[in-house]
Structure 1
C-alpha cells in the first residue's frame, strides 16, 4: 500500500511538472510559393507595410493539448508570408522602418498597410501537446501616405491537423491556418475597389 501511494505521488508530481508549459511553434505558411494572385496584372501602386518593433517581438501563448500551451511570435513568423502576399497584388512592396516613412518628402509610397494579427488554438487530444486546431485573423488597415483611411481588408484562416499528420511537424495546424489566411488576404486585396482608385 505504501509503495502505491509513493508511485501515485510521483505520477502526480511529474504530471504537475509538465502540465501548463508552453511549447514553441511557428505560424508561418505551409508553402509561401503557393500564395498567388488570381489576376495577371498587379495593382500599379507602391505600398509599404509597417510592423511595430514591439509587435515583431511579441510572443503569444494559446492552448495546446494535454493541458499544455503553445507559444509563438505571429508577426515575426508571418512577416515573409505577408510580404509575399502583398507582392502578389501590388507592383512594389516595401517593409517600412517607421510608421511615418510614407509621409516623407519624395517617398514613392502611395498606400500604407498596418497589419494586426489575432490567433487562437486548441486541441482535442489529452495526450499530445501540439494544437489540433488553429485559427488566425489577419486584419490590414490601409491608409494613404498622409495617414487617411482608405479601407480595411481581412484574411481569415483555420487549420486542422491530427496526430498522424503533426507528429513530424508540431506547427502543422498553425501553418495550414496561416496559409489559408494569406491566400484569403490576397483575394480580399484583389477584390477591394478602394485600392485601385
Structure 2
C-alpha cells in the first residue's frame, strides 16, 4: 500500500466560462466536517497494490472555486451550520459535499492508478434546513504510461472533471436569495383586526356613530 501523493486539483482549471447562465445573487456557506477533511481513503492501484489519499482535503480549494463561479457570496463554515441563525448571517443556502471515489489500473507493473472516478454529490439546504437540491456528478480521470511518474495525475483529472460538472449542475438550478421575513407583531395584528371589524359593523348600521367612536377609543387605549 502506498500514498498516491494526490494533492489538490488545479483550481485554475475550474473555468467559469463553462457556465452558460449568469451568476446567482444568493449567498451560500459550505461545510466539510473536520473528520472528513482528515479522512484517508484507500482504493486499488496497479499490480495488486493500493493507493491512499484524502479526498475531501484534496478537493476543498477547487470546490470553493466552483461555488465562487456560481454564487455571488461563498463562505466556508468552520463549524456545523446553525440553521436558526443562517439568515442572520446573510446565508441563503448551506452546501455540504459528499464524495465517493474509486480507482484501478490497466497496468500490472505500475502501482499508480491509470483510471480514477470521483462521485460528487452537493447537498443543498435552505435556511430552514430543507434539502432543496442534491445534484450528483461523476468525474473521470485517466493517465497513460507517459504520465505515471505523476502518481496523482488520474485522481486530479477526475476531481477537476467532477468540479466542472458540479458547477454546471448548480448553475442550471434556480437559486435565488430569500428575503428575511418581517416579524409579525401579534398585538398590532389583533388591534387592526378589531378596528376593521368595528368599522364594518358601523358601515352595516349595526352601530351608531357615537357607539362606534366610543368602542374605537377603548381599543386604542388598550394598546
**Which category describes the TM-score, using the shorter chain as reference length?**
0.7 to 0.9
Q: Which residue of 1 aligns with 2:44?
A: 63
The counterpart of 1:126, out of the listed 108, 123, 136, is 108
Q: Which residue of 2 aligns with 1:14?
A: none
User: Does structure 2 retain, via aligned residues, the 8 Å contact 1:155–1:184?
Assistant: yes
User: Does structure 1 retain, via aligned residues, the 8 Å contact 2:21–2:171?
Assistant: no
How has the CA–CA distance of structure 1 residues 26 and 103 changed in structure 2, closer, same or farther, with 3 Å as cutoff?
farther
Partner secondary structure for residue 134 of structure 2: strand
Partner secondary structure for residue 42 of structure 2: strand
Moved over 3 A (4+): none
Kindly report the root-mean-square deviation, in angstroms, between the aligned alpha carbons of the 2 structures: 1.6
Is 1:90 matched with 2:74?
A: no
The counterpart of 1:144, out of the listed 120, 126, 131, is 126
- Once the 2 structures are TM-superposed, how far is the Cα of residue 96 of structure 1 from its aligned partner? 0.5
Is 1:33 matched with 2:15?
A: no
1:53-96 Cα shifts (integer Å, max 9, x gaps): 11110000000011110000000000000000000000010110
User: Does structure 2 retain, via aligned residues, the 8 Å contact 1:102–1:108?
Assistant: no
- Once the 2 structures are TM-superposed, how far is the Cα of residue 28 of structure 1 from its aligned partner? 2.6
Partner secondary structure for residue 82 of structure 1: helix
Structure 1: how far apart are the matches of 2:71 and 2:20?
Answer: 11
User: Does structure 1 retain, via aligned residues, the 8 Å contact 2:32–2:96?
Assistant: yes
Residue correspondence of structure 1 range 35-184 to structure 2 within 5 A: 35-37=14-16, 38-39=19-20, 41-104=22-85, 106-167=88-149, 169-184=150-165
Structure 1: how far apart are the matches of 2:120 and 2:47?
Answer: 28
Bigger strand fraction? 1
User: Does structure 2 retain, via aligned residues, the 8 Å contact 1:102–1:110?
Assistant: no
Partner secondary structure for residue 142 of structure 1: strand
TM, length-normalised to structure 2: 0.74
Deviates more, 1:157-166 or 1:126-135: 157-166
User: Does structure 2 retain, via aligned residues, the 8 Å contact 1:59–1:73?
Assistant: yes
Deviates more, 1:33-42 or 1:89-98: 33-42
TM, length-normalised to structure 1: 0.83
Q: Which residue of 1 aligns with 2:192?
A: none
Specify every segment of 5 or more residues in structure 2 that has no aligned partner in the other structure, as ranges.
Answer: 178-223
Is 1:24 matched with 2:4?
A: yes
Q: Looking at CA atoms only, which structure, 1 or 2, has the larger radius of gyration?
A: 2
